[in-house]
Amino acid sequence: MKIDMNLLPMKGHYFLFNAGTAPVVPFIPTLAKELGFSSFIVGIVYTFLPIMGMIAKPSMGALADRFHCQKIIFLLFIVLVMVFFIFIPFIPPLPSDSKANIHCNLDSVVQICSESLSDNCYLKKITDFGSENSTIKCTMSCKAEEKFIESVCTKWNQSQFCGSPHRLPVNQLLAIAKKQAGVIADVPGDNKKPVTLAPQTLSFNAYLSPKHTVQIGKCIYIRLQNVEFQSNVMVIPYCDSLQEANCEMSCDNAVISEISLNPKLKDSEIFNLYQFWMFAIFLVLSWVGQAVIVSIGDTICFELLGDNPSKYGNQRLWGSVGWGLFSVIAGLIVDKFSDGQKKNYFPAFVLMLIMLFLDLVVSSRIKYKQLRTSSSILRDMGKLLSEVKIVIFLIWCICVGMCTAMLWNFLFWYLEDLATAHGCETKAWIKTLEGLAMGIQCFGGELPFFFLSGWILKKIGHINAMTLVLFVLGVRFLLYSVLTNPWWCLPIELLNGLTFGLFYAAMTSYASIVALPGTESTTQGLVGAVFEGIGVSLGSFIGGLLINHYSGSKTFLIFGIGALTCALVHFFVQYFLSRRVTVLNIHERVTTPLLKAGSKNANTEG
């Protein structure tokens, strides 16, 4: 087998770039959650990401074509992605606290209410903790009113709170009011009875009995076994009648800490915090950088391939290898360096920095120089967009982009809902399931189909491949809609080879074929912008609305029927258009034989 040495740096770029982004990109939403951002805030940020990519791809592509600086922009944005990504783990978390209520009665309990308690598996995790007599230690700071303080004094035998400076007899309180404000008043009854001027803060250690936990709605009630004001002096907390106190607490149990953590600010107030703007700016700039790298990188690859664009899949498959391999490595590293309660993502970002630096070094060795020029990029792009086939092609990109948004943004969400409904045992393994799904998508789907894409496109043609992609997306979504056990998604993930591997090869190679000389970067940028900026954004918006109003199953059913309908329409439209001769047909008749000729020599380069 003959190895083309000019293409080795390109293979290295695809492998190293995807190996560098894989440790970071999948973890950004969970990192944002640990920083304290709600799913609503993260959703807003992720809505703008494809739109920014849509603006950046064609604009940077046009700039590269105009000034013949594709490689310079390509290398510059690799550096920018490294810089903006490495800042993200240094963003401070949002202000937050852990809130709970003490209900003191003959049997005292700690009440914790949280939206996350809609997942009943939390109750099982708590009650399964330890043995029958095991306790969970929490440090509590409670604001208590007069009657609660009185119970602490008399029932809990804490004499230090009996003579509290916050408690004064009524006659002394009236004397202070007369002296400071000139208020003269008389209160009938016992003027020597003490009253509380303001809530008093009590600090103590609380020992909770997890085996005695019940859940009512979105609140859990855990028995308060003992409290400790002084070292090794345990007190049984009880009151003659129900008394309540609002508390902040910190527990040595990860599950209770997770469900009791609440942000101090509402979502509408987050936009005033510098943490939000740091997160949004760094993420947007790094996303824009990735978009430009992918777009211009594909352009350079097709220019290097010359008359053999069918070999694109042989280069791009190394990206799937890098992504699949290093997403698994990154997960292991994050778990290894985490304390079990809060994940430490910094090692993943260090891995990203190393791999992208290696990518920069390897990519700088790509021997590439742009030779073809366009006298007027705008005129040539206008001529291209006037072709009906190109308009249909762009609409196809939007349709596939909408379906891809469901896979990127809502598939794991749907699987977690299925796991919750299927049982807590399944929910406990959901991250392993998601990791296996990603592995099958890359190694069982994308890898072989990127390798075979040139042969498939030669056999059935780009147009039929586009119809096939929509059809398989429809079948894939219909299969998702009938799932009851999330583990059955694993064989379905093999279809990712057709719905992404074949799709991406067909999209980029078709864009390369129809691009007029000197507009290669602009055309690739435009196609990528339409797919991601319009298709993925629109799919994310519609998918989010449907899931919010219906369910994941019904949403995948609707998208599946829609994809099959689009496949049928695409087939008939292309059939009637195939009889129409245009300037683009002539251009394709010149370039397509070159594509097929390159396929015959595919086994001369690996």
pLDDT tens for 4-30 read: 777 899 999 999 999 999 888 877 877
- Work out the percent of the chain whose per-residue pLDDT is above 70: 86
Contact 217, 86 (CB under 8 A): no
Per residue in 362-374, pLDDT tens?
Answer: 999 988 776 666 5
Place 192 in a pLDDT band, splitting at 50, 70 and 90.
Answer: low
Structure tokens that stand for 21 in this block:
């982004």
Does pTM top 0.85 for this prediction?
Answer: no
Q: Is the pLDDT of residue 532 over 80?
A: yes
Separation between Cα atoms, residue 80 and residue 310, nearest integer Å: 31
Mean pLDDT for 464-474 is 96
Mean pLDDT for 64-73 is 83
Separation between Cα atoms, residue 460 and residue 227, nearest integer Å: 74
Cα distances (angstroms) measured from residue 290 to each of 56, 82, 252, 467: 10, 10, 40, 28
Per residue in 534-577, pLDDT tens?
Answer: 898 888 888 888 887 888 899 999 999 999 999 999 999 998 88
Which positions ≥6 away from 78 have C-beta within 8 Å? Answer: 17, 289, 293, 356, 359, 360, 363
Question: What pLDDT is recorded for position 476?
Answer: 96
More confident residue, 528 or 87: 87
Q: Is the pLDDT of residue 398 over 80?
A: yes
Contact 140, 203 (CB under 8 A): yes
Q: Is the pLDDT of residue 583 over 60?
A: no
Per residue in 246-298, pLDDT tens?
Answer: 998 888 887 888 788 777 677 788 888 999 999 999 999 999 999 899 888 88
- Work out the percent of the chain whose per-residue pLDDT is above 90: 33
More confident residue, 401 or 260: 401
Least confident interval from 198-207, 312-321, 530-539, 594-603: 594-603
What sign does the dihedral 253-254-260-263 (CA atoms) show?
A: positive
| Domains observed in the chain | 1-95+266-369 (1.20.1250.20), 99-161+200-260 (no CATH), 384-598 (1.20.1250.20)
Q: Is the pLDDT of residue 602 over 50?
A: no
Cα distances (angstroms) measured from residue 581 to each of 137, 389, 392, 560, 576: 78, 11, 15, 33, 11
Contact 508, 499 (CB under 8 A): no
Q: Identify which of 66-70, 338-342, 493-497 has the greatest average pLDDT.
A: 493-497
Place 588 in a pLDDT band, splitting at 50, 70 and 90.
Answer: low
Q: Is the pLDDT of residue 60 over 70?
A: yes
Structure tokens that stand for 159 in this block:
């004499």
Per residue in 337-349, pLDDT tens?
Answer: 776 446 788 999 9
Mean pLDDT over each residue of the chain, to the nearest integer = 83
Question: What pLDDT is recorded for position 601?
Answer: 47
Mean pLDDT for 460-474 is 95
Least confident interval from 444-458, 462-476, 591-605: 591-605
Instruction: Classify residue 310 by its DSSP letter.
Output: G
Place 521 in a pLDDT band, splitting at 50, 70 and 90.
Answer: confident
Place 184 in a pLDDT band, splitting at 50, 70 and 90.
Answer: low
Q: What is the 3-state secondary structure (H, E, C) of 584-599?
A: HHHHHHHHHHHHHHHH
CB atoms within 10 A of CB 540: 23
Cα distances (angstroms) measured from residue 426 to each of 121, 439, 485: 10, 19, 9
Per residue in 97-144, pLDDT tens?
Answer: 788 999 999 899 999 988 778 777 788 888 888 888 889 999 999 988
Separation between Cα atoms, residue 219 and residue 259, nearest integer Å: 10
- Please name which of 54, 17, 571, 589 lies closest in space to residue 284, comparing C-alpha atoms: 54
Q: Is the pLDDT of residue 524 over 70?
A: yes
Contacts 24+ apart (CB under 8 A), 48-52: 48/280, 48/284, 49/283, 49/284, 49/287, 50/532, 50/533, 50/536, 50/537, 50/540, 51/533, 51/537, 52/284, 52/287, 52/288, 52/291
Q: Is the pLDDT of residue 473 over 90?
A: yes
DSSP secondary structure string, 132-201? Answer: TT--EEEEEEEEE-HHHHHHHHHTS--GGGTT-TTEEEHHHHHHHHHHHH-------S-TTSEEESS-EE
